[in-house]
Amino acid sequence: MIQISYKWSGLCVDNSDKKQIHFDTRSQQVLLEGFDVNYPGEYEKAGILSEVKEYQDTLFYKFLTDGKHVAIVTSDSFEIKEDILKFFGDIDILVITGTKQAVKVFENIEAKVVVPYGEGKDIFLNTVWFGGEEVKNHKIGADLSGDTTEFVNLG
């Protein structure tokens, strides 16, 4: 089971072994079990596989943990082309900057669970017609099958 929550200065994704992906939403730094993965390349730490890709001067992050594909998108100002969409592939959990423009990015990635962050997250959620309450953490079970998208309003 994966749990997503805010800890310290950012958003944390904890897997069933309590191994953590930490995303500092202010500095946009990503740590994989304390290891800095803010450079393009492939990494493996504590059983979590990751790939970081630079595209149009922005870093994009993809992780595989507990059999789930997690992506972190820190920008909404890039051109959506096939090569970046191929990088994402089939995403289960999408952590995305919360802006109105980011809705177009989300629509092209089609994740099963979407977690917007930042000052504009309410705008993002309103744009996709989600009116759910803010929660402190969210647990994601093993089964993410189906065609529906679940939106998470973390606070």
Domains of the chain: 2-151 (3.60.15.10)
Mean pLDDT over residues 39-68, rounded? Answer: 95
Give pairs for 106-112: CB < 8 Å, separation 24+.
Answer: 108/80, 109/71, 109/73, 109/85, 110/149, 111/71, 111/149, 112/144, 112/146, 112/148, 112/149, 112/150
Burial of 6 per CB tally in 10 Å (0-12, 13-18, 19+): middle
CB under 8 Å to 12, separation ≥6 — which residues?
4, 5, 6, 20, 21, 22, 23
Query: Letter for the amino acid at 30?
Result: V
Of the pLDDT bands very low, low, confident and very high (cuts 50, 70, 90), residue 132 is: confident
74, 97 contact by CB (below 8 A): yes
Beta-bridge partners for 7: 10
Q: Choose the weakest-confidence range: 68-72, 135-139, 147-151.
A: 147-151
Instruction: Compute CA 64 distance to the chain's CA centroid, rounded to the nearest angstrom.
Output: 12
pTM: 0.93
6, 121 contact by CB (below 8 A): no
Burial of 107 per CB tally in 10 Å (0-12, 13-18, 19+): exposed
Q: What is the CA radius of gyration of the chain?
A: 14
Mean pLDDT over residues 25-35, rounded? Answer: 94
